[in-house]
Amino acid sequence: MADRRVVITGVSVFSPLGLELSAFWQALVEGKSGIRPFVSFDATELPVRFGGELPGFDAKKSISGKEERKSIKMMSRTIQIGVACALAAFHDSRIDRKQLDSTRFGVEFGSSLIPTDLDDLVPAATLSTTDIPNRVDMQVWGHDGIPTVAPLWMLKYLPNMVACHTSIFLDAQGPNNSITETDISALLALGEAFRILRRDQADFFLCGASDSKMTLLSLVRQCLFAELSKRNDAPDKASRPFDKNRDGWVVAEGAGVLALEDLAHAQRRGATIYGEILGFGSAYDRGLTGSGLARAIHGALTQAGISPQDVDHVNAHGQSTRVGDAWEARGIAAVFGRDTPVFAPKSYFGSLSSASGAAELTASLLAYQHGTLPPTLNYETPDPECPVSVLREARPIKRPYFVKISVTERGQCAAAIVKRFEG
C-alpha cells in the first residue's frame, strides 16, 4: 500500500544546546550558541580547543530501569547518547507499549566511526611499546598486552549497537537496520523507515542517529585530517555556514531521534503529530558540482507532488567548509534559485556528524509548532560562491512544506520533504 501516510509522532534531541526540546528551541529563538571551549578535558596542546559538548549528560540518569542500566558499561559514549535519546523519543510519542505490535515496531539508526576510548587500550599499548619510536613489539602485544583488554571491549564501539540496545530494551522485533554513511546517516535512516512504513511492513519506527567525537584520540585525528575552524578566540562565531569568512567546521556531539508512524495507526491512538513526511530522495554528486544534490531534491519533490515554489525553507547541511558549502549552495540554487530562504542549524551547535540530519530536521519541526523560523547565526558576509538566500533574521512560517538536506564531503546526498500536518 504505497498510499500509506507517514507522520512524525515523537522527537528527541540531545545537543550542545541542552537535553530537552524546550532548551533546544529556546536557544534557537534567543540566538544562543552551544559552542564553547572544551571543559571535559584539557585541550591546551591541541590547535583546536573548542567544540559543541553535550551539557550535563549522565547515562545512568537518562537510561532508566535496572536491566537497562546494567548494559551501560558495555556502551561507548556515542551509544549511551543514542540509546538515551531513542528512549526519550519513544516516551515523547506517548504510545502505549502494550498496544504496540512488537513485530511491526522497527528501529533504524545511522552511525559513523565510533572512536575507542584510550583507557581501553592504553595498558596493552604501554606494555607493548618498544624503545624504537612508532614500533610495537607484536610478540609482547600478543602474550602480555591482549590479556589486559576486556574480552567484550569491541562491543562498546560497533556502529549497530544503538539499534541493538534500543530494540532489546523496547522489544522491537520489526525491521531493524544500521546505516554507516557518516553525515547523511540519520536522513538515510529516516528515508528507509519512511519507505518501509509506506509499504505496510511496519506501523511504528524509531529512527535517527548519535555521534560523539569528544575524546582526545578522536580530536587529534580531526585536528590532523579535518577542515576544522581555528577560531579559538571566538568559539561561538566559528560555525558560519555559507559566510564568506568561514574557515572550517566545528566538532560537536549529540543525537536526534524521531518516532515515525503510519497515520491511521497514530490517529487510532490519538497521537500528537509534529509533521508528515511526503517525499525522500538520494543521489551521488560526482565532481561536487551540485547536480547530484539537485537530483536528490527533485526526486523528493516529485514523490511529494509539490514544486519548489511550495517550499517555505531549505534546512541545509551547512557544514561551514569552503568547498562543501559552495557545492551544496550550487545544488540548492539549481532547484530554488534565490527565492527560498536557507536555514543552517549547525551555526548554533556545530556538526553532530551522523546525528546531524535528525537533530536539524527537528529544529524546523519546532519552528512549525511555534510559527517562526530562527535565523542562521554568524552569517555576516555573503559569498558569491554560495548563491543562496541565507536567513539572517527570524521570520514567520509562510508555507506548509520544508526540505531537509544532508550531504557528505565525498558527495553523497539525501533530501526529505516534510509538511505541517493538517489532517
pLDDT score of 2 = 58
Alpha-carbon span 349 to 255, nearest angstrom: 12
**Nearest-angstrom CA–CA distance, 320 and 324:** 7
Number of Cβ within a 10 Å radius of residue 331: 28
CB 193 within 8 A of CB 106: yes
Strand 401-407 to strand 412-419: parallel, antiparallel, or no bridges (unpaired)?
antiparallel
198 pLDDT higher than 80: yes
Flag whether pLDDT at 419 surpasses 80. yes
Question: Which tens digit of pLDDT belongs to each residue from 298-325?
Answer: 999 999 999 999 999 999 999 999 999 9
Neighbours of 409 (CB within 10 A): 16
Question: How far from 348 is each of 155, 193, 343, CA to CA, in Å?
Answer: 33, 28, 11
The DSSP 8-state label assigned to residue 102 in this structure reads: G
Q: How far apart are CA 93 and CA 225, in angstroms?
A: 40
DSSP three-state, residue 101: coil
Residue 389: which residues within 8 A CB-CB, separation 6 or more? Answer: 338, 339, 340, 341, 342
Dihedral angle computed from the Cα positions of residues 150, 151, 152 and 156, in that order, rounded to the nearest 10 degrees: 30
Confidence of residue 1 (pLDDT cuts 50, 70, 90): very low
- Local structure of residue 54 (DSSP, 8 states): P
DSSP characters for 124-135?
HHHHHB-SSTT-
Maximum average pLDDT range among 65-79, 154-168, 196-210: 196-210
What is the spatial distance between Cα 17 and Cα 149, in angstroms, rounded to a whole number?
A: 36
At residue 121, the pLDDT reads 84
Tens-digit pLDDT profile for residues 247-262: 999 999 999 999 999 9
Sign of the CA dihedral running 360, 311, 375, 31: negative
Long-range contacts of 129-133 (CB under 8 A, 24+ apart): none
Tell me the percentage of the chain whose pLDDT exceeds 90: 83
Summarize the confidence of residues 326-349 as an average pLDDT: 97
Q: Could you give the domains of the chain?
A: 6-115+157-419 (3.40.47.10), 118-153 (no CATH)
Kindly state the DSSP code that residue 53 receives in the 8-state scheme.
Answer: P
Q: What are the respective helix, strand and coil percentages of the chain, to the nearest 5?
A: 40, 20, 40
CB neighbourhood size of 304 (10 A)? 22
Burial of 417: CB neighbours in 10 Å, binned 0-12, 13-18, 19+: buried
Average pLDDT over residues 116-124: 84
For residue 130, is pLDDT > 90? no
Each residue's pLDDT tens digit, 10-29: 999 999 999 999 999 999 99
For all residues of the chain together, what is the average pLDDT? 95
Contacts of 388 (CB under 8 A, 6+ apart): 242, 314, 316, 329, 332, 333, 336, 338, 342
Joined grid coordinates for residue 13: 534531541
Specify the higher pLDDT residue, 122 or 335.
335
Which band of pLDDT confidence, cut at 50, 70 and 90, is reported for residue 126? confident
Element of type H or E holding 51 = strand 50-51
Count Cβ neighbours within 10 Å for each residue of 337-346 and write b for 16 or more, e otherwise: eeebbbbbbb
Q: Is 226 exposed, middle or buried (0-12, 13-18, 19+ CB in 10 A)?
A: middle
> Using CB atoms within 10 A of its CB, is residue 152 exposed (0-12), middle (13-18) or buried (19+)?
exposed
CA 309 to chain CA centroid, Å, is 27
Cell of 107: 528501529
Q: What is the DSSP letter of 392?
A: -
DSSP per residue, 306-329: --GGGEEEEE------HHHHHHHH
Direct distance between the N- and C-terminal alpha carbons of the chain, in angstroms, rounded to an integer = 19
- Amino acid present at 405: I
Share of the chain above pLDDT 70, in %: 100
